[in-house]
Structure 1
Amino acid sequence: MKTFRVSELGKQPTLTALSALPLQPGHARVDIRACGLNFADLLMTKGRYQDTPETPFSLGMEPAGIVTELGPETGGLAVGTRVVVFSGKDGLADEGVFPADRCLPLPDNMSFEDAAAFQITYGTSHMALDYKARLQPGETLLVLGAAGGVGLTAVEIGKVMGARVIACARGADKLEICKKAGADHMIDSTSEDIREVVKALGGADVVYDAVGGEQGEAAFRATNPDGRFLYIGFASGDMPNLKPNHMLVKNITTIGFYWGGYLKFNADVLTDSLRQLLTWYAEGKIHPHVSHTLPLEQAEDALELLRSRKSTGKVVVTMGPNS
């Protein structure tokens, strides 16, 4: 098998040939056809991600492919089933062995490319907005980093949930993508004052902050009384400096959210969320946006697209026919 492997933290991952992995009870062997990339993959190479595995390991948190073999005492799947897997690692390979309970069957109309672009971004936004923030129809949702991997799904899901969505992103091209995803209002973070624009639009009831830093601080100051502020990530490299006394006076709830963490204490809520999302996909309500698709041999180029912020939506690495 070929795999894109991290042998030492801080060093360049390399495409490596390995022997096929043994098949354990409760596991499935998957012929991987595509794998989505995430900002967490970049952090893992430096050991800066909260769930960085011990070296050596292969990158790739969300592969999709076909079950080719089942281990002993493994139920719930059949050989030949098309699946998406939340693996946490080892997805950037042409084959993998994963716990069967991490494998979800795909709708018939879902390609491997869309499946690989789906789980973490849509799962993060759906659980953050629904399970944590309790976003209601008619409320105003402000999304920072709205053209990014998770941000664009927050725009889509916010609209499916009946919210008015304000999308904040860098530049006209990225804002146009947000508009196509359903955003009602757009803010160019390179030239407009986020706080002033949002306040002029009536303020935000829910803020989805995947950026942090000054943008997060400006969004917090435009949050309405009794609003909810979701910490999703800090793509800017800085955490927003939010004032607790302002939270108190305005009765604002701040919520930290890490999708993968639920695997450790409430995996059922993740599975239920993904099933709802797959149903919405099958019904045509959500449409993953993949800006770049590259083969496994160009995995480093794919990571560079994330590193340089040249992508919108998702970057997907492919290993075989996408069908």
Structure 2
Amino acid sequence: MEKITIPADRDGVAYLYGHPLRNSLSPPLHQTVYNALGLNWTQIPLSSADGPSYTQSPDITTFLASIRSNPKFVGSSVTMPWKVAIMSHLDDLTEEARQAGACNTIFLRRDGETETKSRTSYVGTNTDCIGIREALLQNSPTGADHFRGKPALIVGGGGTARTALYVLRRWLGASAVYIVNRDAAEVEAILAEDKLRNPDSSNLAPLVPVSNPAVAATVEPPVAIVSGIPNYPPKTDKERRAREILRLLLGRQLHEKDQGVILEMCYHPVPWTDIAQMASDARWKVILGSEALIWQGLEQARLWTGIDVVSVPGLVARVKEFVTKAVAERSKLNL
């Protein structure tokens, strides 16, 4: 089995599948990559207008039939509401997709011993794993050593929490992964899914719900946090309780050399959230969620082009410059 490398002189079409897509930075991010590589490629948002401020994407069967019959197809980003539903329709899934429980990327793979016997497979993966991993590693004082053998924390109970759990275990070597969330049922669902995916979990860092401020005040402090909740002030008692638990954990840094690193995945409509400010006040290093966007997009480009895009001189800098400007401009519009 081998990854298909698309000839550079061939026109290529990538898609962005899901809805709504009006505010997505994915197409211009990928265009920045294609321009840097000199490729005559583009990424097209695959949706149509459904009212003045909403878009609607085609159903999965229509979408897959379209890409399978398109000789210019090179790959696709997948977003809500299809990230889970599409998995059972693909030819194969990577470990990242299985462990995260969601697919955000489709790429092409050739199966077979010879060119004449080969078959093209449509494979689902989850590059958000790479986005979270690289955002943390690229911005930590000592790379993976800063996190290895120490606890980490996940805030939230959605898809980001599931993806972060895999990353913190697989690549960062966390000794335990705490989870703080307003909804106990969501936490129970994550625990149950984790048990099904990893029936033999003896070698995995335990997933530990923290729902009591008294426990937060006594557990070993985390050195890494991935926050995956919207930037809304807490209103209910459960939300205020979860925020207080987070505040306590943020305040328990013991030494400057063990400075905590928090990845705030929420960067829209504004990149600097209430949680980012709270972490900064507690002397944590704050990484904006746009960093994860950059690295997951670069991983998609690598899968689709067959090129180690990160090693191309100046390419990462160009993508970072674009994303930084785009996020800043959108933030101004929402002030």
TM-score interval, smaller chain: 0.3 to 0.5
Task: Report the structure, 1 or 2, having the larger strand content.
Answer: 1
TM-score, normalising length: structure 2: 0.45
TM-score, normalising length: structure 1: 0.47
Task: Report the structure, 1 or 2, having the larger helix content.
Answer: 2
